[in-house]
Structure 1
Amino acid sequence: MTWLEASAEQSLNSWRRRGLERIPATFASAPTPEAVIDSRTMVLFSSSNYLGLAQHPRVIEAASRAGAFFGAGSGGSRLTTGTTSAHREVERVFAEFLGYPEAVLFSSGFAANTGTLQALAGPGTVIVSDERNHASIIDGCRLAKAQGAAVEVYPHRDMGALERVLDKHHDRNCLVVSDGLFSMDGTVAALPELMAICRAHEAAVMVDDAHGTGTLGASGRGIVEHFQLHNDAPDVLVATASKALGAEGAVVAGSPALTELLRQKARSYVYSTSPAPATCAAIAEALDIIAGSASPLGALRANIDHLSHRLGWKTWETPIFPIPIGGEEHAVAVSESLREQGFFVPAIRYPTVARNRAILRVTLMATHTAAHIDSLANALDGLIHS
C-alpha cells in the first residue's frame, strides 16, 4: 500500500467512525418523482430538477438533435475548438432571459463561482461572503486569497453586520457575494437591503442564483425578478442550468467588460473542456419552456403552497423545505424510515450543516402530485411527532 492509499484509508475510516460517510444511491431509472433506487420504487423528494424539465420531451428532443448534428462532446476548451453556434446561442438567450447584456457559459455552477471569484480577486480586493454560502463560493474565496484578496464572512443575512464590514474596508474594493436562494435552509437573500447597503458603500455585488433560477420571480427569472430589481440588479449574477432547467452547466451574467474578462482570465473556463453542444441545446429549450405559456412554474408553486399548508408553515415561497431533526444519528434513522415507506429524502448532516443541526432537506418538483405530497406529510408527521 502506498502512502497515498494509506492516507486515504485512514481518512475514510475516520469519517466512518464519526458517522460522516456518504453512501450514494444507485438509480435504475430517471429521477422523475417516482424512480427505481437500489432496486426499489420510491418517490423522490430530494431532486433539484424542480420543474421536471430533465424529462420534458422538448428538452430531450433538442438535446438529441444537437447531439446528432454536433456529436457527443465539444472536443476542446472554449478558446480552442470548444465553441460552437450552440454555445453562442445559449449564452445569448440566457443573458436575455436574465435581463443582462451578456453571459458566459461554464461547465458547472461550481466552476462558475470559483472561476469568477479567482478572476476578480487581487491584492486590493476584499471578498465579503455570507456565512451560509455554497461550498463553491467558499472555495472561490480561498482561491481569491491566493490572488492576494482579503476575505470577510458575515452572519447569515445580517445586513447590520455586512454594513459594519463595509465600513471597516471603506478604502478598498469590496465584492459582496451571496447565494440568492440558500440551498440548505430555503431562505432567500435580503437582496433589496443588500443592494442598498452595497451601493451606499460603492461595493460590487455578486449573487449565485442557482436555486432561484426557474423557481423565483413571476416568470421564473430568479431573484432579481422576485424583488423587481431590474433597474438595480447585482453586478454579477450566476445562474445554473443544473437545477430547475433540468440540464447542467451555469452562466455568469454581467457587463460586456466583465464577461470578456472571465473569458480571458477565469481558469475554470479557459482550461476546461466546454459543455457538449447537446447540453447547450437542452438549456436553450428549457429557457423557452419556462418563458412560454405552458411553463410548469405554476404547478411547482401550487405544490409549494400545498406542502407548506400540510406542514403548518404559514408562509413559504421556495421548493426547498428544511425539516429540522437535530442529532445526526436520529436524522439518518428518520431518513431510513422514510425510505422504508417509499420516500427518498436523504439526511443532511455535519459538515454540510452544523453539528446537531441535521435536517431532512425536502425538495418539491412541479411533477409531484397532491397524493405524493399528502403521503409524505403523513409519513413525516408519524415519524417526527410520534
Structure 2
Amino acid sequence: MSWLDTHATTALEAWRDQGLERTPAVFASAQDPVATIDGAERVLFSSSNYLGLSTDQHVVAAARGALERYGAGSGGSRLTTGTTAEHRLVEEAFARFLGYPDAVFFSSGFHANTAVLHTLAGPDLTIFSDERNHASIIDGCRLAKQAGAATKVYRHRDPAHLAELLDQHAAANTGARALVVSDGLFSMDGTLAPLPELTEVCRAYGVALMVDDAHGTGTLGATGRGIVEHFGLQDTPPDILVATASKALGAEGGAVATTRHVADMLRQQARPYVYSTSTSAANCAAVRAAIEVLERTAHSDDGPVRALHRNVARLACALGYTEWPSPIIPIWIGDEAEAMAAAAALREAGFFVPAIRYPTVPRGKAMLRVTVMATHTIGQIEALVEALERR
C-alpha cells in the first residue's frame, strides 16, 4: 500500500476502535414525514426540512422553471460567470425578509460563516465566540487566526462572562476591533442564544455582533423571521445575521444579511464568494419562492410557520417541556451505547430519530435529537411519544 492508504487505514482503525464510525442513512424519497430510509418506510423525526417546503408545489415549480431557463449549473464563481438574475433576486428577497439593507448569498451556510470571519480578520481584530458555536464558526475563527485575528471563547450562553472578557479586552487593546459571534438557535440541544443580553453587552462596549440564525430562519418568530423577531429586536438587530436556505426554506445556501458596505466588501474579498462555483439558478429560484411562501402566509393560521409552532408545542408538552422555543427537542440519554440502542429501537418501531454522540457532543452527553416538521400529523407525534415511552 502507498503511504496514503497506510495512513488512512491506521486512522480509520483508530476511529473505529473509539466507537466513532458512522454510517449515513440513505434516503430514496423526499424528506417528508414518511420517508424511505435504508429501503424501509419510517416516520422521519430528524430532518431540518422544518416547514416541509422542499416539496412545496410553489417552490418546486419555481426551481423547475429556472432549471429549464438557466440549465443545471451556474457555470462559474459569482465574479466570473456564476451570477444570474436569480442570484440577485434571492439576495433582495433575503434582505427584505430579514429587514436588512443588503444580503450576500453563498452556496452554503458553512461558506457564509467562514467567509465573514476570514474577510473581517486582521491583527487588530479579536473574535469572541460562544463555546458551543457551530463547526463553521469554529473553522471561521481558525481561518481568521491565519490573517492575524485572535479568538477568545466565552462560556455558553453567558453574557456576564462575555462582558468580563470584553472589559479585559477594552483595557488592554485601546481602539482595537472586536466581534462577538454566536449561534442563534443552537443546533444540538435546541436552546436559544440570550440575544437581548448579548445585544446589550455589545452595545455597551461598542463592539459588533454576528449571529448565525441557520436553524432559526423560518422557525422562530411569529412570521418565521428568526431569532430577531422572536425577541422583538427588529429595531436593534445584530450587525451581521447569517440565515440559511438549507433548513426551513427547503433548499440550499446561506445568506449574510448586513449593511451595504459590509456586503460590498464580502462580494469583493470573501474567498468562498470569489473562488467557489456558485449554486445553481434553480436553487436560487426555489429559495426565493420559499421566502415568498412565508411572506404570503405570514398571518394565516394555515401557514407553515404556525403549523410548525403548533406541532412543536404538542410534542414538547408531551415530552415534559414547557414553552419550548424551537423545533429541535433533545432527549438526554448520557451513555453513548444506550443512546445508540434507543435509536435502534425506534428504527425497529418505524421511526427515524438519530442518536447524537461524541464528538458532536461531549462524552457522556449522548442524546436523541428529535426535530419537528410543520407537516407532521397529530397521529405521528402521538405515536412517537408512545414509542419513546416504551423504549
TM-score (norm 2): 0.97
Instruction: Mark the runs of 5 or more structure 2 residues left unpaired by the alignment.
Output: none
1:327 paired to 2:331? no
In the alignment, structure 1 residue 304 sits paired with structure 2 residue 308: no
Aligned AA for 2:57? P
In structure 2, C-alpha distance between the alignment counterparts of 1:269 and 1:359, rounded to whole Å: 36
Q: Residue type matched to 2:3 in 1?
A: W
Where does residue 71 of structure 2 map in the other structure?
71
Q: 2:210 aligns with which of 206, 211, 222?
A: 206
Secondary structure at the counterpart of residue 65 of structure 1: helix
C-alpha distance in structure 2 between counterparts of 1:75 and 1:334, whole Å: 45
1:289 equivalent in structure 2:
293
Question: 3-state SS of the aligned residue for 2:129?
Answer: strand
The Cα shift of 1:269 comes to: 1.1
The answer for the alignment partner of 1:277 in structure 2 is 281
Moved more, 12-21 or 136-145: 12-21
The residue aligned with 2:160 is: 160
Q: Partners of 2:7 and 2:31 in 1: how far apart? A: 35
Equivalent position of 1:62 in the other structure? 62
Paired residues for 1:115-134 under 5 Å: 115-134=115-134
CA distance, structure 2, for counterparts of residue 201 and residue 94 of structure 1: 29
Contact 2:249 2:291 in 1 (8 A): yes
The question of 1:250 aligning with 2:258 is answered no
The Cα of 1:28 is off from its aligned counterpart by 1.3
What is the RMSD computed on CA atoms of the aligned residues?
0.8
Query: What is aligned with 2:113?
Result: 113
Question: Aligned residue pairs: how many?
Answer: 383
Give the partner amino acid of 2:325: E
In 2, the alpha carbon distance for the partners of 1:129 and 1:247 equals: 28
Shift of residue 362 of structure 1? Answer: 0.3
Q: Does 1:189 align with 2:205?
A: no
Superimposed CA distance per residue, residues 50-85 of structure 1 (whole angstroms, 9 cap, x where no aligned partner): 000001011000000000001101000000000111
Residue correspondence of structure 1 range 29-40 to structure 2 within 5 A: 29-40=29-40
Q: Deviations over 1:8-38 (max 9, x none)?
A: 1111111111111110011111111101111
Letter in 1 for 2:249: L
Aligned twin of 2:242: 238
Shift of 1:279: 0.5
What residue in structure 2 maps to residue 339 of structure 1?
A: 347
**Take 2:377 and 2:15, find their aligned partners in 1: how far apart are those partners?**
38
SS at structure 2 position matched to 1:164: helix
2:370 to 358, 362, 374: 362
Alignment of 1:5-44 (within 5 A): 5-44=5-44
2:222–2:306: 8 Å Cα contact kept in structure 1?
no
**CA–CA distance in structure 2, aligned partners of residues 57 and 13 of structure 1:** 46
Q: Which residue of 2 aligns with 1:314?
A: 322
From 366, 378, 384, the equivalent of 2:386 is 378
Q: Distance in 1 between matches of 2:9 and 2:107?
A: 31
Q: Please give the per-residue CA displacement for 1:333-354, whole angstroms capped at 9, x wherever unaligned.
A: 1100100001101110001000
Q: Distance in 2 between matches of 1:283 and 1:351?
A: 32
Distance across 1 between alignment mates of 2:164 and 2:191: 22
- Greater mean alpha carbon deviation, residues 305-314 or residues 192-201: 305-314
Equivalent residue of 2:337, what SS?
A: helix
What residue is the counterpart of 2:50 in the other structure?
Answer: 50
Matches within 5 A, 1:216-231: 216-231=220-235
TM-score, normalising length: structure 1: 0.98
The gaps in structure 1 that reach 5 residues or longer are none
Deviates more, 1:167-176 or 1:51-60: 167-176
Q: Which residue of structure 2 lines up, in the alignment, with residue 100 of structure 1? A: 100
1:295 Cα deviation after fit: 2.6
Q: Over residues 79-119 of structure 1, what are the superposed CA-to-partner deviations in whole Å (9 max), with x where a residue is unaligned? A: 00001110001100110000000000000000000111000
- What amino acid is aligned across from residue 17 of structure 2 in structure 1? R
**CA apart distance, 1:3:** 1.1
**Paired residues of 2:35 and 2:42 also in contact (CA < 8 A):** yes
Please tell me the residue identity of whatever aligns with 2:260: P
Aligned residue number for residue 88 of structure 1: 88
SS of the residue aligned with 2:26?
A: coil
Query: Is this contact kept in 1: 2:335–2:364, CA < 8 A?
Result: yes
Partner of 1:267: 271
Matched letter for residue 337 of structure 2: E
State the identity %. 60
CA distance in 2, matches of 1:218, 1:30: 27
CA distance in structure 2 between the partners assigned to 1:218 and 1:36 by the alignment: 32
Amino acid at match of 2:303: S
**Stretches of 4+ aligned residues off by more than 3 angstroms:** none
Partners of 2:57 and 2:85 lie apart in 1 by 23
For 1:268 and 1:7, the matched residues in 2 are separated by 30
